[in-house]
Structure 1
C-alpha cells in the first residue's frame, strides 16, 4: 500500500526572531515493512543552510538555519512511501521465550543485539525506573510467562485502565502522576509502558510516527489519527523489536507509520531548536494528513 504524509508545523512569534537553528525528525524512516520513495521539504522563510543527516538511532533528520528576521516560521514536509502489512497475529506463536529467560540473557548478553538492547533498560531523560512503575507491571511480567504474551496483556491493561484525555497532562507530566490519575495521551501511555517494562527488566523503546487518517471499511477511526502518534516496542531475541500500541490495544501492522525511535520523546522531538533576539510569546500549530494514494 502506498501512503503520503504531509506534516505542517507553524510557529508564530510575538516579536521578530533574527536567527534560528533547528533539527527535525519529520522524515519517516525505512523499516522491515516500510520504504520511503521520496520526500519534499518546504521551509518559509527560506533557510540559508539545510542539510539531511542521521542521528545516533539511525533516524532520518534534517538541519536548517534561518538568518532573516521573521515572526512566523512554517515547515511543510511531504513524504511518499510503501508499507507491507505485517502478520502480527502469528508473532506471539513464533517465540516462547519467557520473561525470566529474557532477563537472564540480558544479565550476560552474548550477541551484539542483546548488548545493544541493554541500552533500552537504562534511565533516559523522561523515563526513570521507580518502585511504583515496577509494582504496576511485575504481576504481568512474571518469570514463567512468555514475554510476547505478557506484553499483549500489559498493552490491554493500559488500554482498559487508562482514559485518553488530552487535557490532563503535558509533555513534562511525571509518569507517577500519569499512573495515579489513570489518564493522558498516547505519549503518556507509551512512556508509562516503557517505564514499567524497564523497571521489571524488559528492554523497551519509544516509537514515534503517525496513524492512517481513514480507517479500513467497517472499523472505527483510531485514536491519534490526524496527529503525531506514539507507541512502544520491546526486544525479543530471534524476532527483534516487536511493537505494541496501548492507546488502541493492538500490535501495529500497516496503519502505523514510523518516523523515528529512541529512548523516549526527547530523542525524537519532531522539531526542536534555538532562537535568538526575539520570540517572546509563541504559538504552535501542527497539521497532519495521512492518506492512501
Structure 2
C-alpha cells in the first residue's frame, strides 16, 4: 500500500524562547516491509543549527538549535511511503518459555537486541497485578508465543476503554492499568510492561495509521493523530512483530512506523529544552491518505 503522509506540529509561546534545542523523530523508518519513497521536512523559523543523524535504536533524528528569540515553532513533514508487510507466521512461533530463554541468551548489543527491552525503563514499571493479568492470559490455553501475544492484544482491546482526554502524556502504567482507560500510548505501555514482566521482550512503536479505511471496514481508533503500538520479539528466526492493543489487531499495512524504543521517551516526535516564561500551546495535525 502506498501513502501520502502529512504531519504538522506547531508550538506557540507566550514569551520569546531563546537558546532552544530539539530532537525531531518525524521521518518514517525504512525496512521491515516499509519503503520511504519521498520525504521533506520544513522547520519554521529556520534553525541556527540542523544536523541529520540516527539514534541508538536506528530512528532518523533531526537535531536542531535556535540562538535567536522565537515566539512559535512549526515542523512540517510530508512523505510518500510504501508498506508491504507479510503476515507473520504466529502459529509456528516458539513457545513462550523458549522465547524468554532465547532473549536472555542473546549477545547482540545494538538497539534491536531483545536484551534492551526486557526490564523496566523510564516509563515502564513492574506492577504485580498487571504481571498476573498477562500471565493469566498466557495460561488460558497452550499456544505458540505469537498467538499468545495476539490474545493479549485482543484482551486489552476488550478490557480497556479508548477515551481521548482521560489521561495525559505523563500517565503511569499503574494508573492506566487500574483505571482501564486511556489512549494508544497508555495501552502500549501497559502491554509492554506486562510482556516484559513475563519474560517477553517488547518495545514501543510510534507512527501513523491510515486515515481512510478500506471500503466496508471500520475506522481504526487513533487515526487522527500519531499512533502508538507494540512490537514483541518472538525468537531469533522471526524477530520483532507488531501488535496494536488499541485496536486488538496485528500491525499491518495500515501502520506506518516512525520510531521505536523502550517506551514513549525514546520515540518522542519532538523533545528538547528551551528557555522561556509561562505555558505553551501545541497542536498536532496528521493526514494519511492512500494513493491508488
- Shorter-chain TM-score range: over 0.9
Aligned to 1:13: 13
**Alignment partner of 1:108 is 2:120:** no
Computed over aligned residues only, the root mean square deviation of the Cα atoms, in angstroms, reads 1.8
Aligned to 1:129: 126
Q: CA deviation at 1:135?
A: 1.2
TM-score, with length taken from structure 2:
0.94
Aligned to 1:287: 285
Aligned to 1:185: 183
Aligned to 1:260: 259
Query: Residue 141 of structure 1 contacts residue 200 of structure 1 at CA under 8 Å; is this kept in 2?
Result: no
Aligned to 2:81: 81
The superposition leaves residues 35-73 of structure 1 with CA deviations (integer Å, 9 ceiling, x where unpaired) of 112211111111121111100000111111122222111
> Counterpart of 1:248 in 2: which secondary structure?
coil
Task: Tell me, in whole angstroms, the C-alpha distance in 2 between the residues paired with 1:46 and 1:107.
Answer: 46
The superposition leaves residues 164-202 of structure 1 with CA deviations (integer Å, 9 ceiling, x where unpaired) of 012221111121121111101000000000000011111
Aligned to 1:44: 44
The 5 A counterparts of 1:1-293 are 1-88=1-88, 91-95=89-93, 97-109=94-106, 116-142=113-139, 144-237=142-235, 238-276=237-275, 278-293=276-291
The superposition leaves residues 217-243 of structure 1 with CA deviations (integer Å, 9 ceiling, x where unpaired) of 111111111210000011112111011
Q: CA deviation at 1:20?
A: 1.0
Deviates more, 1:121-130 or 1:65-74: 65-74
Instruction: Return 5+ residue gaps in structure 1 as ranges.
Output: none
> Counterpart of 1:215 in 2: which secondary structure?
coil
Query: Residue 106 of structure 2 contacts residue 113 of structure 2 at CA under 8 Å; is this kept in 1?
Result: no
Could you say if the C-alpha distance between residues 24 and 281 of structure 1 is closer, same or farther in structure 2, counting changes exceeding 3 Å? same
Task: Tell me, in whole angstroms, the C-alpha distance in 1 between the residues paired with 2:9 and 2:290.
Answer: 21
Query: Residue 106 of structure 2 contacts residue 114 of structure 2 at CA under 8 Å; is this kept in 1?
Result: no
Instruction: Return 5+ residue gaps in structure 2 as ranges.
Output: none
Query: Residue 134 of structure 2 contacts residue 198 of structure 2 at CA under 8 Å; is this kept in 1?
Result: yes
Could you say if the C-alpha distance between residues 111 and 270 of structure 1 is closer, same or farther in structure 2, counting changes exceeding 3 Å? closer
Query: Residue 103 of structure 2 contacts residue 201 of structure 2 at CA under 8 Å; is this kept in 1?
Result: no
Q: CA deviation at 1:283?
A: 0.2
Could you say if the C-alpha distance between residues 279 and 11 of structure 1 is closer, same or farther in structure 2, counting changes exceeding 3 Å? farther
Deviates more, 1:127-136 or 1:224-233: 127-136
> Counterpart of 1:141 in 2: which secondary structure?
helix
The superposition leaves residues 82-130 of structure 1 with CA deviations (integer Å, 9 ceiling, x where unpaired) of 1114334xx22332x11122223334347779x9212210110000122
Query: Residue 43 of structure 2 contacts residue 76 of structure 2 at CA under 8 Å; is this kept in 1?
Result: yes
Number of aligned residue pairs: give it: 288
Query: Residue 132 of structure 1 contacts residue 176 of structure 1 at CA under 8 Å; is this kept in 2?
Result: no
TM-score, with length taken from structure 1:
0.93
